[in-house]
Structure 1
Amino acid sequence: MSVLSALLEASRSGGVEIVDLTTPLQESTPVLQLPEPFANTSGFRLEEISRYDDRGPAWYWNDIHTGEHVGTHLDAPNHWVTGRDGADVSQAPLQTMIAPAAVLDVTAAVAQDPDFLLEVDHVRAFEAEYGPLPDGGWLLLRTGWESRGGSQEEFLNTDDAGPHTPGVSAECARWIAEESPVAGFGVETVGTDAGGAAGFDPPFACHHFLMGAGKWGLTSLRNLGELPPQGAVLVVCPLPIVGGSGSPARVLALVER
């Protein structure tokens, strides 16, 4: 049996489970909100063209209106000024879009502190228990934040001091970008940076370092709890938007059971 035939047989028999990590796109899908005077992305919206009526008697279809960075989406290096000369989303390397993933679970810490920041020591402790991060693969941060995804207010978790969502410290962001072997970093929150990252040095350090190093980001993931700490294979399918800084993406994981 060929390798691909074996994979198909395993997926049908349950030996390999396909886990959907994607947030469904609808008008209520939470989107990032930047403070004035910065411009914001539009949310997701369907505009009906016809639906079995005089506009088209036998077919139903829609125009879609959405920003590149809405729902589960991929950040390309050219999304940030530090990566402005880097790859756009249409140039995403397939070896990165299908790659192994490590899942680091900090849900207990985030339940106590929504401003929790991942530090390099947390990653080192993970590697000591589960093995090194996958070379050319992904580090996915499980925070439990997906449980807030039904509400824009709960998902952004903003008060007068600003948004309160978990993420990585500036030093950890630099380490992931410049010293770790991974090609990308994924989160359950609305962006790869923590809610308080505007006050970091540099501001929005995850974007600053990750994009500047030519690495990739994934946001608004869900179902990470169904993945093992090591061993899953991530499949990321963005739209190949020429010149685009990112794209909504269908993200799947293959998990051997």
Structure 2
Amino acid sequence: MPLLTELLGAIGANRIEVVDLTAPLTESTPILQLPEPFANTIPFRLEQISRYDDAGPAWYWNDIHTGEHTGTHLDAPVHWVTGREGHDVSQVPLSTLVAPAVVLDVSERVAAEPDFLVEVPDVRAWEAEHGALPEGGWLLLRTGWDERSTDAERFLNADANGSHTPGVSADCARWLAEETPLAGLGVETVGTDAGAAAGFDPPFPCHHYFLGAGKCGLTQLRNLARLPATGAVLVVAPLPIVGGSGSPARVFALVER
């Protein structure tokens, strides 16, 4: 039996589950809030062109107003100054967009400490239990933060001292980007970096190191709790925007049951 026929049969028979990891795009989708004097992206918005009316009696359609980095989205290398000579979102290799994925679950530790940072020993301990990180694959960080994703205030979790969301330490970000075979890092939070990352050295180290290494980021993922620690295949479908630094994306995983 041809492999693709076998794959479709396994999906139809529920031996392979397709798990949607994407947060729906609405006007209330949380977006990153940078402090002054930095500029911010716009919220997602639909502008109706026609809806079975005089402007279009038999059809409904809209213009889309959004930023590249809104909702569940892909960060391409060119998004950061360290990756400025790298791929734009239209150039990201298909081997990165369809690739193996593993899940590091730190949700219990994040529940006790929203500012929790993953360190190199945490990943080493995961490898000791599950094996090496996948060549050309994705590390997906499960923090449980997707539970907050429909409430922008709880999701961004900011106070007078800044945002308090989990992430990866600067040392761990450098190690993952430069010394492992990963193609990218995926998270449930608004950005790949922790809420306090503006004060790290370097600032925003996941962006600095991953994008500088020609790798990618994925943000605002959902349903990572439904994925196994190893064995899933990640599929990322961004808009191929020529010159784009990123794009909202439909992201899903294939999981053998």
DSSP-derived class of the 1:192 partner: coil
Q: Does 1:170 align with 2:170?
A: yes
Q: Does 1:93 align with 2:93?
A: yes
DSSP-derived class of the 1:7 partner: helix
DSSP-derived class of the 1:252 partner: strand
Identical-pair percentage: 73
Which residue of the partner structure matches residue 185 of structure 1? 185
Q: Does 1:65 align with 2:93?
A: no
TM-score of the two chains, using structure 2 as the length reference: 1.00
Cα RMSD (Å):
0.4
1:52-109 Cα offsets, whole Å, 9 max, x none, are 0111100000000000000000000000000011100000100110000010000000
- After the TM superposition, which residues 31-180 of structure 1 pair with which residues of structure 2 at under 5 Å, given as runs? 31-180=31-180
Q: Which runs of 5+ in 1 are unaligned?
A: none
DSSP-derived class of the 1:43 partner: coil
Q: How many Å separate the matches in 2 of 1:104 and 1:38?
A: 32
Letter in 1 for 2:251: V
Which residue of the partner structure matches residue 194 of structure 1? 194
- After the TM superposition, which residues 178-257 of structure 1 pair with which residues of structure 2 at under 5 Å, given as runs? 178-257=178-257
Q: How many Å separate the matches in 2 of 1:203 and 1:67?
A: 22
DSSP-derived class of the 1:147 partner: helix
Q: CA shift at 1:206, angstroms?
A: 0.7
DSSP-derived class of the 1:230 partner: coil
Q: Which runs of 5+ in 2 are unaligned?
A: none
1:107-141 Cα offsets, whole Å, 9 max, x none, are 00000000000001000000000111100000000
Letter in 2 for 1:255: V
Q: CA shift at 1:223, angstroms?
A: 0.3
1:133-159 Cα offsets, whole Å, 9 max, x none, are 100000000000000011111110000
Letter in 1 for 2:68: E
Q: How many Å separate the matches in 2 of 1:92 and 1:205?
A: 21
Aligned residues: 257
DSSP-derived class of the 2:171 partner: helix
Q: Which runs of 4+ in 1 moved over 2 A?
A: none
Q: How many Å separate the matches in 1 of 2:117 and 2:22?
A: 23
Q: How many Å separate the matches in 2 of 1:151 and 1:65?
A: 21
1:14-33 Cα offsets, whole Å, 9 max, x none, are 00000000000000100000
DSSP-derived class of the 1:85 partner: coil
